[in-house]
Structure 1
Amino acid sequence: MNFQQEKGVVRVLYAALDGAEADRIGGVLAESMEPDALWRGFHPFGELTGPEAVAERFWQPLRRALSRLQRREDIFFAGRNEIDGFAGVWVVSMGHLMGLFDQPWLGIAPTGKMVFLRYCEFNRIEGGRIAETAMFFDIPHLMMQTGLNPFPPQTAAHLVQPGPQTHDGLLHDDASEAESRATLAAINAMIGDLGTWQSGLPLEEELALTWADDMIWWGPAGIGATYTIERYAKQHSAPFRAAFTDRSKTRHLARLAEGHYGGFFGWPNFTARHTGGFMGMPGSDKPGEMRVIDIYRREGDKLAENWIFIDLLHFWKTQGVDILERTTGIAGA
């Protein structure tokens, strides 16, 4: 397992991107991205094609809004994608983009204060260039830092989330193949247990099969973060399962691991019908799409930490509720 070339592509891009003026970002991206690279971003961005579109729609407005932007990376790893038979190589970065919120962004009024935009990015590297990207970011989390309340009170804690407890998430050097296989196996076991919601075990016993008792679930704004199996079951998992039915099978576009870290994303990961009560919202007859990134840290043979990015703005829009417009008052924000 040698991912130095692929990791290097992303690290060179980040160094150039993070130091570039807004009007140079298109050219910086073009040096690393294929002209027809597919970029997937949370609502309201969706799918974009090519570096210029990504620069104009996402990066330039963000950089103008958040001055003195700084990348605070907590996790960085690479791996071969189990979903395509371990053919493709993806590089994963997770952390926060921090800046001074000096100009409006997506209709959100600036505060002049520090804000943190949670992000996680998967980049597929092919021939020394970026061929495909999933860039997920927690917009409601940023909104809540400015004093807005896009959702009813959440069941778990709203926090600016730290990186791994072990402070070893930046895998610039390649990790052990045996450790990587063990992490992917733990993630797959969890998917097998939790992906159907039909294990037949009491919820906390089911969770204990693959999770450490002192697990931490770093959930998105609107749901929140929760600690220990008992509180995770009470503050997220049980309410979530109770509020949904007709859950589709899990579908991922990429699933990989390196060392003690791993994760996946889908577009969407699954669909389900909301019967009512989740996040204090009414039910619907329409199935909704869950676009999700999950990043995991394994400890021993159990999963110890999990960082989750869910495109809740997209999910609720599929249910007929435009959270961004409702909160900012700006149509098409």
Structure 2
Amino acid sequence: MGFQQEKRLVRDLYAALEAATPDRIAATLSEAVAPEALWRGFHPFGELTGPEAVAERFWQPLRQSLTRMQRRQDIFFAGRNEIDGFEGTWVVSMGHLMGLFDHPWLGIPATGKMAFLRYCEFNRVEAGRIVETAMYFDIPHLMMQAGLDPFPPQTAAHLVQPGPLTHDGLLYDDAPEAEGTATLAAINAMIGDLGQWQSGLPLVEELALSWHDDMIWWGPAGIGATYTIERYAKQHSGPFRAAFTDRSKTRHLARLAEGHYGGFFGWPNFTARHTGGFMGMPGSDRPGEMRVIDIYRRADDKLAENWIFIDLLHFWKTQGVDILARTTGIAGA
């Protein structure tokens, strides 16, 4: 039941990518990625098919912009996907891609300084190949590092976001199965009991059912990170719920856990209609899509930390606002 082969495949690919010159990235990906593999990335990338397209559209331009790039992982784990009846195996990596921002990327001006692209990647491995990938990344945070201001002032704080408090998130060795089962149960309790915004309890009491009081919610640029249940309710959860209606049911493509870590992603996770006020923006009569990755750390029987990736550029574009083009001045960026 272990995941050593799948983990080794992904780790070897990461090492090979870091060593590859830009012109060798497609060939490097092709050694580990199936020819028809589906790759999903945040706006403006969307869905790509096959390693050559991913190399040409994403990796080569990024590597040419962020020179001397390092993948600085904070969390690495694997597990079987609850959504498909625990058939598929996924390997998850989260951290920052760090390099010297020497050339513009997506219209974002270069700084010549260190820059960090916060990312989380889910890879589905089947028969010794990667056959599906979700690669989510915080482009607005990179924009802010370059001196751009894509959003109004956020309600919480956003820094270069650290890994787990416990510094034990790199599960290169397989964790005991019972620990992953407990983590998945804690995540499912949060989703099932709290995820529909209809518990009837005051928000702080509702959150306390699933979260430790000293929880940390590491949110994306434009929202920020917040510490303790009380501040999370005040600085994100409460304002977020108040700004949306007509929320659809939660839809995940993968949900898994290993050890004290777990997470999920959707495409989208849910839709909701913005009634106004979220991130200082006006309301709309159109539902918007929330493409999200959530990564969790469990402590005892509750959730202690949560790293969140939301494709805010895509969400606001569904509302008629092209944040990337507006901020960089490049149409279709």
Question: TM-score band (shorter)?
Answer: over 0.9
Residue in structure 2 matched with residue 238 of structure 1 by the alignment = 238
Matches of 1:288 and 1:245, distance apart in 2 = 11
Amino acid aligned to 2:324? L
Please give the per-residue CA displacement for 1:187-220, whole angstroms capped at 9, x wherever unaligned.
Answer: 0000012211000000000000000000000000
Matches of 2:194 and 2:228, distance apart in 1 = 17
Matches of 1:325 and 1:18, distance apart in 2 = 30
The Cα shift of 1:18 comes to: 1.0
Residue in structure 2 matched with residue 320 of structure 1 by the alignment = 320
Matches of 2:129 and 2:178, distance apart in 1 = 28
The Cα shift of 1:289 comes to: 0.1
The Cα shift of 1:265 comes to: 0.0
Matches of 1:163 and 1:122, distance apart in 2 = 17
Please give the per-residue CA displacement for 1:136-192, whole angstroms capped at 9, x wherever unaligned.
Answer: 000001111111110000000011000000000000000011110000000000001
Matches of 2:119 and 2:19, distance apart in 1 = 18
Matches of 1:158 and 1:89, distance apart in 2 = 32
Please give the per-residue CA displacement for 1:22-44, whole angstroms capped at 9, x wherever unaligned.
Answer: 11000000000000000000000
* SS of the residue 2:54 aligns to: helix
* Pairing 1:80–2:80 present: yes
Residue in structure 2 matched with residue 53 of structure 1 by the alignment = 53
Matches of 2:132 and 2:89, distance apart in 1 = 11
Residue in structure 2 matched with residue 258 of structure 1 by the alignment = 258
Which runs of 5 or more residues in structure 1 are unaligned?
Answer: none
Residue in structure 2 matched with residue 206 of structure 1 by the alignment = 206
Amino acid aligned to 1:295? I
Please give the per-residue CA displacement for 1:297-332, whole angstroms capped at 9, x wherever unaligned.
Answer: 000001000000000000000000000000000001
Amino acid aligned to 2:82? E
Residue in structure 1 matched with residue 129 of structure 2 by the alignment = 129
The Cα shift of 1:17 comes to: 0.5
Matches of 1:197 and 1:79, distance apart in 2 = 28
Matches of 1:19 and 1:141, distance apart in 2 = 26
Counterparts in 2 of 1:22-37, with a 5 A limit? 22-37=22-37
Please give the per-residue CA displacement for 1:74-128, whole angstroms capped at 9, x wherever unaligned.
Answer: 0000000000000000000000000000001000010001110000000000000
TM-score, L = length of structure 1: 1.00
Residue in structure 2 matched with residue 106 of structure 1 by the alignment = 106
Matches of 1:102 and 1:152, distance apart in 2 = 27
Residue in structure 2 matched with residue 304 of structure 1 by the alignment = 304
* SS of the residue 2:31 aligns to: helix
Counterparts in 2 of 1:187-226, with a 5 A limit? 187-226=187-226
Residue in structure 1 matched with residue 179 of structure 2 by the alignment = 179
Aligned length in residues:
333
* SS of the residue 2:313 aligns to: helix
Matches of 2:149 and 2:41, distance apart in 1 = 22
Residue in structure 1 matched with residue 38 of structure 2 by the alignment = 38
Matches of 2:282 and 2:31, distance apart in 1 = 46
Matches of 2:161 and 2:206, distance apart in 1 = 26
Residue in structure 2 matched with residue 247 of structure 1 by the alignment = 247
Structure 1 runs (4+) greater than 6 angstroms displaced: none
The Cα shift of 1:290 comes to: 0.1
* SS of the residue 1:217 aligns to: strand
Kindly, what percent of the aligned residue pairs are identical?
A: 86
Counterparts in 2 of 1:128-147, with a 5 A limit? 128-147=128-147
Residue in structure 2 matched with residue 269 of structure 1 by the alignment = 269
Which runs of 5 or more residues in structure 2 are unaligned?
Answer: none
Residue in structure 2 matched with residue 10 of structure 1 by the alignment = 10
RMSD: 0.4
Matches of 1:18 and 1:302, distance apart in 2 = 36
Residue in structure 1 matched with residue 119 of structure 2 by the alignment = 119
* SS of the residue 2:107 aligns to: coil
Matches of 1:45 and 1:194, distance apart in 2 = 32
The Cα shift of 1:19 comes to: 1.1
Please give the per-residue CA displacement for 1:6-26, whole angstroms capped at 9, x wherever unaligned.
Answer: 101101100100111111000
TM-score, L = length of structure 2: 1.00
Residue in structure 2 matched with residue 329 of structure 1 by the alignment = 329
Please give the per-residue CA displacement for 1:34-86, whole angstroms capped at 9, x wherever unaligned.
Answer: 00000000000000000000000000000000011011000000000000000
Amino acid aligned to 1:270? F
Amino acid aligned to 1:78? A
Matches of 1:70 and 1:12, distance apart in 2 = 14
